[in-house]
């Protein structure tokens, strides 16, 4: 009971810290707070450490596939560079530019 109540108090305190960090615009701090709160819920309320070994394997497996999903899914938008598409794909094919002036 003490463990559950102390987890609850800490999680509520972290919620207050999150709100303060939001007012200060510290986005990375909000993310850290949310992660710690999630861990406390898993530890204090879901009794993660007392779960059978197979349950831990399932939980870790879920987190592993989540990381694959987020990493591969966001890879394109985080690494995309806007290359010029070239004449074959550009609208200039339909409206060709006049050839540049060249010296005789």
Partner 1 sequence: MSEHLAPYDSPQHRDETAIAGMWLFLASEILLFGGLFLIFVVYSHTRAAGWALGVRHTSLTIGGINTALLLTSSMVYTLGVEAARNENARGTILAGLGAAGLGVTFLCLKGWEWHTELDEHLFPGPGFALGGLQAGGAQLFYSFYFLSTALHGLHMLVGIGLIAWVCLRVYRGRGASLRVLPVEVVGLYWSFVDLVWVLLFPVLYLIGRV
- Reduced 3-state DSSP string for 65-80: HHHHHHHHHHHHHHHC
Return the number of other C-beta atoms located less than 10 Å from residue 8's C-beta. 14
Query: Site for partner 1 (CB under 8 A): which residue of 70, 87, 92, 93?
Result: 70
- Is residue 54 a contact residue for partner 1 (CB under 8 A)? yes
The reply on whether position 93 binds partner 1 by CB under 8 A is no
Element housing 4 (H / E):
helix 2-24
Q: Is 62 in the site for partner 1 (CB under 8 A)?
A: yes
Secondary structure class of 100 (helix, strand, coil): coil
Contact residues: partner 1, CB under 8 A: 1, 4-5, 7-8, 11-12, 15, 18-19, 21-25, 27, 30-31, 33-34, 37-38, 41-42, 44-46, 51-52, 54-56, 58-59, 61-63, 65-66, 69-70, 73-74, 77-78
């Amino acid at each position: 009971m003490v463990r559950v109540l102390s987890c609850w108090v800490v999680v509520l305190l972290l919620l207050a810290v999150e709100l303060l960090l939001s007012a200060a615009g510290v986005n990375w701090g909000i993310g850290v707070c949310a992660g710690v709160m999630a861990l406390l819920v898993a530890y204090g309320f879901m009794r993660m450490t007392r779960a059978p070994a197979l349950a831990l394997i399932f939980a870790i497996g879920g987190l592993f596939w989540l990381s694959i999903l987020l990493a591969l899914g966001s890879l394109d938008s985080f690494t995309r560079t806007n290359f010029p598409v070239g004449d074959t794909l550009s609208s200039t094919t339909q409206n060709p530019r006049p050839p540049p002036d060249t010296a005789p």
